[in-house]
């Protein structure tokens, strides 16, 4: 299977304080659509009070040119109401739901317990199936949490098994606070693939600029074929102890894959255009 890269402008934008205009967002995402990424995590259908930066997701979507791209669109949702809004848009392929295996984080993020969140997943999955969408569930806090909540590989496997039993085919291990290490990834990732061979497991890592390589190498060497990244590593991680912790930079992933003679199939001329334009989107936020 070819490497699938999900470019995450939504994750990069959502924490930016100053509002990025709808036209600038759309122009940036349109450039990304021409690069040839498997998927673009382009926006979210959540309360504007929670994430004011992304209140214009539906308007951005109207301005996207999908006529000459193979990239699929992913929108993040945090509850059933958001899913109802997202499924109205035929252009969207994936709904992404952050399902935390940390009780504290689930309560903070979606105001629900883990069990309540799982019931929400069941309802959203049914809604997705009825509307021709695919639900992608992020196992957030997948490598530990800062709250002292219990964490072990058995908990990951337990919830992965329940998700798979619901017919969910797309799951991403999410290192929400950037604490995963290569040893953890090398242990957890292949074991999940072995236990649930019909499920596609991706990985969404956060890292500091100088610690990304061992994590990416561990995931790749463990057989991971689906990576979430963001150009220049934009996108903060507000719960991380280190302010430099953010998304894995897409250009770093590409550089690593090149060392492995792993083709990406990306249009690197358009990639450079997007890299250049990103400075206009984000300014000097790094």
Dist CA 277 CA 271 (whole Å): 10
Nearest to 201 by CA among 235, 154, 168, 165: 168
**285 pLDDT band (50/70/90 cuts)?**
very low
Between 175 and 241, residue with greater pLDDT: 175
- Spatial neighbors of 122 by CB under 8 A, at least 6 apart, are 166
Per CATH, the homologous superfamily of domain 4-282 is: Aldolase class I (3.20.20.70)
The mean pLDDT of 259-267, rounded to a whole number, is 96
What's the average model confidence in pLDDT over 62-76? Answer: 97
What three-state secondary structure class fits 97? strand
CA angle, 162 as apex, 156 and 168 as ends, to 5°?
105
Stretch 124-135: mean pLDDT, rounded? 98
Q: Residue 31: what pLDDT?
A: 98
Whole-number percent of the chain with pLDDT over 90: 86
The band of 166, judged by pLDDT with boundaries at 50, 70 and 90, is very high
- The count of residues in the chain is 286
Residues ≥6 apart with Cβ < 8 Å to 104: 145, 147, 149
Statement: residue 1 has pLDDT above 80:
no
Mean pLDDT over 155-179 rounds to: 95
């Amino acid at each position: 299977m070819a490497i699938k890269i999900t470019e995450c402008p939504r994750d990069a934008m959502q924490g930016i304080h100053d509002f990025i205009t709808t036209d600038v967002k759309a122009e940036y995402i349109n450039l990304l659509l021409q690069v040839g990424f498997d998927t673009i995590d382009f926006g979210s259908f959540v309360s504007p009070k929670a994430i004011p930066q992304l209140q214009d997701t539906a308007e951005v979507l109207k301005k996207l040119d999908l006529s000459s791209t193979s990239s699929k669109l992913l929108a993040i949702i945090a509850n059933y109401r958001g899913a109802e809004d997202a499924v109205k848009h035929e252009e969207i392929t994936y709904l992404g739901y952050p399902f935390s295996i940390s009780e504290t984080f689930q309560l903070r993020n979606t105001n629900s317990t883990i069990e309540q969140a799982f019931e929400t997943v069941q309802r959203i999955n049914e809604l997705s199936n009825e509307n021709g969408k695919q639900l992608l569930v992020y196992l957030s806090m997948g490598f530990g949490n800062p709250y002292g909540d219990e964490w072990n590989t058995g908990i990951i496997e337990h919830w992965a098994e329940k998700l798979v039993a619901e017919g969910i085919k797309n799951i991403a291990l999410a290192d929400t606070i950037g604490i995963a290490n290569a040893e953890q990834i090398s242990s957890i990732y292949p074991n999940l693939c072995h236990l649930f061979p019909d499920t596609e497991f991706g990985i969404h890592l956060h890292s500091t600029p100088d610690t990304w390589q061992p994590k990416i190498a561990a995931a790749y060497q463990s057989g991971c074929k689906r990576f979430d990244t963001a150009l220049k590593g934009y996108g903060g991680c507000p719960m991380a102890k280190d302010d430099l912790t953010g998304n894995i930079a897409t250009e770093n992933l590409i550089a690593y894959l090149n060392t492995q003679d792993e083709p990406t199939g990306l249009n690197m001329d358009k990639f450079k255009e997007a890299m250049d334009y990103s400075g206009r989107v984000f300014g000097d936020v790094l």
